[in-house]
Amino acid sequence: MKRYFLFISSFILIGVLFQMLSGLTLTYFYTPDMSNAWETSGLLSQEIVLTGSNHTLQWITVLMAATLAYLVANKGTYQRTI
């Protein structure tokens, strides 16, 4: 069980690091186009809609994938007693 928690925590840590690195990379290479921004701003809606984001399903999916990866990786490490 200790190995499982170590695997899950490292899986989540690596996932967060990849998210941060991809965000930084996309931010670094983004070049805004101000002339096109003024042309398309007239097409935007005039009302503001506030919505919250719920990442619960995303984290459940990530934990299920990590658990499945852990079980597949350690399939042959257990000794069977007959």
The one-letter amino acid code at 1 reads M
pLDDT tens readout for residues 22-69: 889 989 998 877 777 777 777 777 787 777 777 787 778 778 888 877
Q: What is residue 25's predicted lDDT score, i.e. its pLDDT?
A: 92
Q: What is residue 78's predicted lDDT score, i.e. its pLDDT?
A: 58
Q: Considering Cα of 26, then 61, then 59, then 73, what sign does the dihedral take? A: negative
Q: What is residue 28's predicted lDDT score, i.e. its pLDDT?
A: 93
The one-letter amino acid code at 68 reads L
pTM: 0.50
